[in-house]
Amino acid sequence: MPTSKQVSAAYKLAQQAYADLGVDTEKAIKAALNIPISLHCWQADDVRGLETPKTGLTASGTMATGSYPGRARNGDEMRSDLDQVLKLLPGEQRLNLHAFYAETGTDIVDRDEIEPQHFARWLGWAKSHKIGLDFNPTYFNHEKANSGFTLSDADKNIRKFWINHAKASRHIAESFAKTLGTPSVINHWVPDGAKDAPADRYAPRERLAESYDTIFADKSVNTKLCVDAVEGKLFGIGSEEYVVGSQEFYSNYALSRDKVLCLDLGHYHPTESVADKVSAHLQFHKKLLLHTSRPIRWDSDHVVILDDAVRNLFLEIARGDSWDRVYVALDFFDASLNRLAAYVIGARSTRQAILLGLLDPTKLIQGAENSGRPHERLALMELTRSLPWGAVWDELCQRDKVPAGADWLKEVASYESSVLSKRV
């Protein structure tokens, strides 16, 4: 692995290579470190949650596959794992919590009754690390989601339960923001849909819109502190044919209700470019929530890597200078490999894509395009693929006092040996 001197020497060469194209690497490093990435807590425990066990539950649209040893079994183990992860990540981080990670002790508190006090330990942890908390109502893995429908269920009482859960969740997000001094983004995703072709596609979508309208009618929540986002999906487990909350539904709903639209890289057809959607949506939507994930065949939630989809997404944001109009979060769960390594790979890949966007010689490339020199534009775009961005990344890591290159693997191996291997 490179020494500190080797990293610095390589960086100086890279700095000059980028300067020749009009790119200030110092400015790019600073900006890349300051863009928050919200880590998802559910990678640590395979999306199981911390609720007092109940009977009659189904996955309701989520499933982590694999049996790699070391899964976190309680909140303390999750926070311990996240402590280690944070040591290996450069830049500003946040933590994204789902509602079913409430810690209620021996008390059974159903989701329509959760309160900020049930997340006190998470809040204390976030304060100790000086990071913000984001939040998600958990509309799955509950007996009242076993029909495959929640906010769009035909049963009024089922809808009322989930509406009350969402209202409680919004107040929790607001309390996080008040305590931590940073807005909490609360993302609404429901698994509602049908495995086969339904006879009526209209009524569930009408009910879903009505449920959200009821949820957001609660004006006691400060929407500058609790930032509501809504997320669609192409299909899911048990909703292969029909998803009530489709991309079209949520795009229109968010726009008409002044909510943030969430774009998840794993929730589209494989031939669709999420990067291409950014400039289209930002003509009309004030902000977007971006979930970096990786789809493979039917599964939308593989560990993020630095593939073209992730690179192009943040390149598009950079070329539109839209950094202040997006929130960035991770969303994947994989139980087939070391879960800490999954966090580190996914988070570092996402920040690498952010850095690559900031290192793009956009003015030069767009100048060639605007001057009618498409051959020059294409040649410059291809040149960016071989520029020494890795040396800039290593310098970024070194400055933020985290391992550069693959040095972090040693610490993950040590933690697995001393901590994870003892979890049976």
Catalytic pick among 103, 113, 210, 299: 299
Q: Is 394 a catalytic residue?
A: no
Q: Is 5 a catalytic residue?
A: no
Catalytic pick among 40, 118, 142, 233: 233
Catalytic pick among 231, 334, 360, 395: 231
> Quick one: DSSP state of residue 306?
S
Beta-bridge partners for 194: 242
Q: Map residue 95 onto helix, strand or coil.
A: strand
Q: Is 20 a catalytic residue?
A: no
Catalytic pick among 40, 188, 291, 302: 291
**How buried is 190 (Cβ within 10 angstroms: 0-12 exposed, 13-18 middle, 19+ buried)?**
buried
Q: How far apart are CA 337 and CA 260, in angstroms?
A: 33
Catalytic pick among 142, 144, 188, 267: 267
Neighbours of 421 (CB within 10 A): 11
Q: Is 331 a catalytic residue?
A: yes
Catalytic pick among 45, 301, 360, 416: 301
Catalytic pick among 134, 153, 228, 331: 331
Q: Is 267 a catalytic residue?
A: yes
Q: Is 422 a catalytic residue?
A: no
Tokens of 141: 């893995």
Q: Is 264 a catalytic residue?
A: yes
Which of 121, 122, 215, 120 is CA-nearest to residue 167?
215
Q: Is 189 a catalytic residue?
A: yes
On whether the CB atoms of residues 227 and 186 are closer than 8 A, the answer is yes
Catalytic pick among 51, 134, 192, 264: 264
Q: Which amino acid is at 416?
A: E
Q: Is 401 a catalytic residue?
A: no
Give residues with Cβ within 8 angstroms of 12, minimum separation 6.
Answer: none
Q: Which amino acid is at 421?
A: S
Catalytic pick among 42, 125, 162, 189: 189
Task: Give the residue numbers marked as catalytic.
Answer: 189, 231, 233, 264, 267, 291, 299, 301, 331
